[in-house]
Structure 1
Amino acid sequence: MMLSRTKPATGPGSSTPAKDQKKKKKLPKLEDFLQGRDYTGAITLLEFNRNTGKGNEETDFWIAFCAFHLGDYKRAMEEYERMTHRDGCHPDVWTNLGCCYFFLGMYPEADRAAQRGPKSRLQNRLLFHLSHKFNDEKRLMGYHQNLQDIIEDQLSLASIHYLRSHYQESIDIYKRILLDNRDYLALNVYVALCYYKLDYYDVSQEVLAVYLQQQPDSAIALNLKACNHFRLYNGKAAEAELKSLQDMASPSFLFARDLIKHNLVVFRSGEGALQVLPPLIDVIPEARLNLVIYYLKQDDVIEAYNLIKDLEPTTPQEYILKGVVNASLGQEQGSREHLKIAQQYFQLVGGSASECDTIPGRQCMASCFFLLKQFEDVLIYLNSVKSYFYNDDSFNFNYAQAKAAVGNFKEAEEVFMLIQSDKIKQDYTYLSWLARCCKHNDRKARLAWELYLKMETSAESFSLLQLVANDCYKMGQFYYAAKAFDVLERLDPNPEYWEGKRGACVGVFQLIIAGHEPRDKLHEILQILRNTTNPQVEYITRTMKKWARENKVPV
């Protein structure tokens, strides 16, 4: 059944009485947008007012303010610059313009603009940070003395401590502020970042979780969480965290997209490094360092050196990387100067009060002593951190070399055999040290000889052959010494190689007579001797054959 309406849908009787007529949509006010930190909405309203002729100088000021807080420092700078060209410009505009220049990396311009502004706490904080950027210690301390016990000044002080790698001092300031201001949740991100820098990745995760419960789409917090996962687990786990941020399509994603692109390269072990990192070198400080690491992994030491040679190191990571690059270049070019520079950088980090008890600090001291060839000292430091690097091929390579250098060949061989990297296992240094270990351990000269046979003909294989020949001779492994000297003599008719072969062959013969070598090796020794046209061969072979006939040994 159909029921008729009591009132028409449209027309005079369609509205409810006076009550509904009073309901009108309220236009949003600027204060509402600012209170809700909706700076995009605020700019939209402000631009509407300006374009409809309702704008004034205050409108321009608020547009610049909102652009700055959105991270659009270029837009904010342009707005403030236009204000400075007007008569009667408000003096605070210069300080605000200086802040824009600072965030755009235009530090000299920021300094000049700030100096034109009136003395204020904001101006002092800006000049304090600029002094750090200019590395002007005296000026820095001057502005430091002007800081007061207010939150903004203390946060600035904490950030400078962070930038100077004084992470514990930063944590102390942040925690002190949090005690009285529990609702300042963002400080948990700063504390977590400090713990990350101190290598306390699990603690960093716990502190970070407090903030992420309230702000689950924060790009900075999720990026830090991903970095913690990278350190605690692997690149795949870290990338999964960043993917969740991208899937959210969070407004903060755009703000941090350069940082995220950079970190994805790191998480993917350098994939896309040459496309992503070069444009970010002057944007993200770590981009230069990670590009240097990429070049080192590609064995492009010259490119790595060119990229870092003019960098004045200020953090332990920069000192370490400059040390590694100089050490690599010094070894590649045989340059004592670069090796000395590397040794000094390693010693600076390893001997510093803040780093001496850290894992990187101990590795640095080990590297310093390695370059000085003080291998007993190398082992003291490597032994203290080896539990952290059981499956690390680079660590095991250096650890095994140090073991072998002090004569501990058995343990050295065991560590060498842990290495999985094909690149290292094909390296001449690896092969030569492993060959030396094999010859010292249970008379494994055969393994050393087989290492040579697996190599392609090259200057390095020739060097390894010389090593096998001489070391086997010294160890009394005359059979493989004879084989090695025989190949050497055929490659280079040097009289010294004949002398080595002759001595080795006679040595094998003596061992056969003593019953320490199988008699059937005599036939091979005679063949090795016949490869030489030296007149001494006839006398030696005649003696060997006579003994063979008398002892009924087939030759």
Structure 2
Amino acid sequence: MILSRVKPAVGGETPVNNGDKKRKNKSKILSLEEYLQHRDYLGALTLLQFQRSTGEKEEHADLWLGYCAFHLGDYKRAIEEYKSLTVKPDCPADVWVYLGCALFFLGLYKEAEEAASKAPVLPLQNRLLFHLAHKFNDEERLMGFHQNLLDVTEDQLSLASMHYMRSHYQEAIDIYKRLLLQNRDFLALKVYVALCYYKLDYYDVSQEVLAVYLQRVPDSTIALNLKACNHFRLYNGKAAEAELNNLMDISSFSFEFAKELIQHNLVVFRGGVGALQVLPPLIDVIPEARLNLVIYYLRQGDIQEAYNLIRDLVPTSTQEYILKGVVNAALGQEIGSRDHLKIAQQFFQLVGGSASECDTIPGRQCMASCFFLLRQFEDVLVYLNSVKGYFYNDDTFNFNYAQAKAALGNYKEAEELFLLIQSEKIINDYIYLSWLTRCYIMNQKCQLAWELYLKMDTSSDSFSLLQLIANDCYKMGQFYYAAKAFDALEKLDPGSNYWEGKRGACIGIFQLILANKEPKETLKEVLTLLRNSGNPQGEYFIRAMRKWAKDNRVLLS
């Protein structure tokens, strides 16, 4: 719950001496009503507890204790107070719906519904049941409670929050703006509007709307946190963290109220540092905590853990659909599962084809991913070309963009894109190395391809890269490096038929020498490669080549 802070009225006071004013303030003890008017729930709670301990009691003190605890975000304390009231014979019937609200905020939805059902028919009860129906995914009951909502501020705010939770951000904005026109003093609505614009990716607009509220309430935890999130989207994690540092110094109930949210966001701003310590306990508290923990596991390469965490999640937002698609795609590629790849393709298509996302950047990326999995690379490029201006220095985007270019035979542009990538993780990935190698070969830069192989440690990946160099160089008529690659393969796997490839490549080099397209000095190396095989056919080719060299006065020693 975001509460507006109303400042005391100024003006119309009798001027007093500063010294008298200070003495007066020191001796004055605020009443409960004044604390509540100033939204100082901590002060009100302290006063009520003091009065309870001294035997001096306000009227309905227990109700006010529950009220203050609720507005401080101490829902457990609120539940205790309300439960103690329910066992009293003179308990007001409304207490049951207050208890239901406190249970709702702790995620105890079944218990909240049971409590609400014991309350009389009230607008607050209808609003609570409206939100519970959403939590239970009960569309029929939700629409029933929706019809009971009236054109009053509280009901309209409840409806706007429902639109927000169902990702209908523009509908929520329309309600908030209408309420602001009717009630210009409801400044907290500015924060709600800013939240909606944030969700619509209009971060600069969100900042402008938020600035109006922060001018009046500069220490608002929720508003400063949203400002930090906007900075994260507009700039980077360091800029966002700098904004949150203002909050870290606030020692007030408002900081305590949002402490978990701030800890969660700091993990995000710091690129996942401390994720395993902070995020797991928040999975059922902050909806984004689960998603960010999944992203952390993906970045660490722990795809199975990411899948376990998101497997049973029923997606309701664009981000959840996209993340389920990404996780299934990653798992499908890792274990070679066509089923997971098909599921991923369906999730991407669902997002990219939706009316609300088809023209957004994430929507177009989803369609590109869908066609990538279907290996329809012409369609991939249609979508990636439309958003490339937003991702010039993005390594992941350039990696996918380059693969699509290369798959369609546009090797020159693909090579340029591959070389823009700075990420060590991508650069050391075999997929990257194999595609860059192929681009070098197709662009007549076989020496660079060979150097890539020489830099690799001996492994199954280096063996596969050697096969790629041998076959692609042969295909492109680059017989010198094809022969070197087949020679290396023959040494690594003597029992195979790599001799045939090497033989063909060596003869190809000899033909290029005869056509004056290859230096005659290369013949010396060709003879060495043929001798390495120990194949009887090799001796026949060696004799023929030596005879030609002798006739043409080519030195072989």
Tell me the TM-score normalized by structure 1: 0.94
Structure with higher Rg: it is: 1
| Counterparts of 1:41 and 1:242, CA distance in 2 | 25
Question: Match of 1:504, as an amino acid?
Answer: A
Q: Is the Cα–Cα contact under 8 Å of residues 226 and 238 in structure 1 kept in the other structure? A: yes
Kindly state the Cα deviation for residue 56 of structure 1 after the two structures are TM-superposed.
7.1
Residue in structure 2 matched with residue 355 of structure 1 by the alignment: 357
Kindly state the Cα deviation for residue 85 of structure 1 after the two structures are TM-superposed.
1.2
* Count of aligned pairs between the two proteins: 533
Question: Match of 2:493, as an amino acid?
Answer: D
Q: Is the Cα–Cα contact under 8 Å of residues 85 and 91 in structure 2 kept in the other structure? A: yes
Kindly state the Cα deviation for residue 136 of structure 1 after the two structures are TM-superposed.
0.8
- Superposition map of 1:464-483 within 5 A: 464-483=465-484
Q: Are residues 1:183 and 2:185 paired?
A: yes
Q: Is the Cα–Cα contact under 8 Å of residues 217 and 250 in structure 1 kept in the other structure? A: no
Q: Once the two structures are superposed, what CA deviation does each residue of 1:204-241 show, in whole Å capped at 9, x if it has no partner?
A: 00000000001100000000000001111111110000
| Counterparts of 1:123 and 1:415, CA distance in 2 | 58
Residue in structure 1 matched with residue 45 of structure 2 by the alignment: 43
Residue range with higher mean Cα deviation, 239-248 or 372-381: 239-248
| Counterparts of 2:27 and 2:526, CA distance in 1 | 107
Q: Are residues 1:240 and 2:254 paired?
A: no
Residue in structure 2 matched with residue 274 of structure 1 by the alignment: 276
| Counterparts of 2:116 and 2:271, CA distance in 1 | 42
| Counterparts of 2:29 and 2:445, CA distance in 1 | 89
Kindly state the Cα deviation for residue 494 of structure 1 after the two structures are TM-superposed.
4.1
| Counterparts of 2:280 and 2:251, CA distance in 1 | 26
Q: Once the two structures are superposed, what CA deviation does each residue of 1:161-220 show, in whole Å capped at 9, x if it has no partner?
A: 100111111111100110111110000001001111111110000000000001100000
SS in 2 for 1:417: helix
Percent identity of equivalent pairs: 74
| Counterparts of 1:495 and 1:509, CA distance in 2 | 24
- Superposition map of 1:278-289 within 5 A: 278-289=280-291
Residue in structure 2 matched with residue 117 of structure 1 by the alignment: 119
SS in 2 for 1:508: helix
Question: Paired residue for 1:193, among 179, 192, 195?
Answer: 195
- State the superposition RMSD in angstroms: 1.4
Question: Match of 1:159, as an amino acid?
Answer: S
Q: Is the Cα–Cα contact under 8 Å of residues 72 and 253 in structure 2 kept in the other structure? A: no
Kindly state the Cα deviation for residue 247 of structure 1 after the two structures are TM-superposed.
2.3
Residue in structure 2 matched with residue 60 of structure 1 by the alignment: 62
Residue in structure 1 matched with residue 388 of structure 2 by the alignment: 386
Q: Are residues 1:446 and 2:447 paired?
A: yes
Residue in structure 2 matched with residue 550 of structure 1 by the alignment: 551
Greater relative contact order, per chain length (Cα 8 Å cut-off, separation 6+): 2
Residue in structure 2 matched with residue 12 of structure 1 by the alignment: none
Residue in structure 2 matched with residue 19 of structure 1 by the alignment: none
Q: Is the Cα–Cα contact under 8 Å of residues 401 and 433 in structure 1 kept in the other structure? A: yes
| Counterparts of 2:526 and 2:27, CA distance in 1 | 107
| Counterparts of 1:431 and 1:39, CA distance in 2 | 61
Kindly state the Cα deviation for residue 446 of structure 1 after the two structures are TM-superposed.
1.2
SS in 2 for 1:89: coil
Kindly state the Cα deviation for residue 26 of structure 1 after the two structures are TM-superposed.
5.6
Kindly state the Cα deviation for residue 516 of structure 1 after the two structures are TM-superposed.
0.4
Q: Is the Cα–Cα contact under 8 Å of residues 277 and 287 in structure 1 kept in the other structure? A: yes
| Counterparts of 1:399 and 1:91, CA distance in 2 | 63
Residue in structure 1 matched with residue 214 of structure 2 by the alignment: 212
Residue in structure 1 matched with residue 265 of structure 2 by the alignment: 263
Q: Once the two structures are superposed, what CA deviation does each residue of 1:246-305 show, in whole Å capped at 9, x if it has no partner?
A: 224343111111101110111110111111111111111111111111111110111111
Question: Match of 1:509, as an amino acid?
Answer: F
Residue in structure 2 matched with residue 4 of structure 1 by the alignment: none
| Counterparts of 1:436 and 1:32, CA distance in 2 | 76
Residue in structure 1 matched with residue 81 of structure 2 by the alignment: 79
| Counterparts of 1:334 and 1:404, CA distance in 2 | 22
Residue in structure 2 matched with residue 149 of structure 1 by the alignment: 151
Q: Is the Cα–Cα contact under 8 Å of residues 72 and 254 in structure 2 kept in the other structure? A: no
SS in 2 for 1:118: coil
**Unaligned 5+ residue runs, structure 1?**
1-21
| Counterparts of 2:423 and 2:25, CA distance in 1 | 75
Q: Is the Cα–Cα contact under 8 Å of residues 195 and 203 in structure 1 kept in the other structure? A: yes
Runs of 4+ in 1 over 6 A off after TM superposition: none
Q: Are residues 1:305 and 2:325 paired?
A: no
Q: Is the Cα–Cα contact under 8 Å of residues 371 and 377 in structure 2 kept in the other structure? A: yes
Residue in structure 2 matched with residue 515 of structure 1 by the alignment: 516
Kindly state the Cα deviation for residue 462 of structure 1 after the two structures are TM-superposed.
0.6
| Counterparts of 1:339 and 1:43, CA distance in 2 | 55
| Counterparts of 1:23 and 1:257, CA distance in 2 | 32
SS in 2 for 1:502: helix
Tell me the TM-score normalized by structure 2: 0.94
Q: Once the two structures are superposed, what CA deviation does each residue of 1:383-424 show, in whole Å capped at 9, x if it has no partner?
A: 000000000000000000000001111111110010011111
Question: Match of 1:539, as an amino acid?
Answer: Y
| Counterparts of 2:190 and 2:25, CA distance in 1 | 44
| Counterparts of 1:470 and 1:41, CA distance in 2 | 79
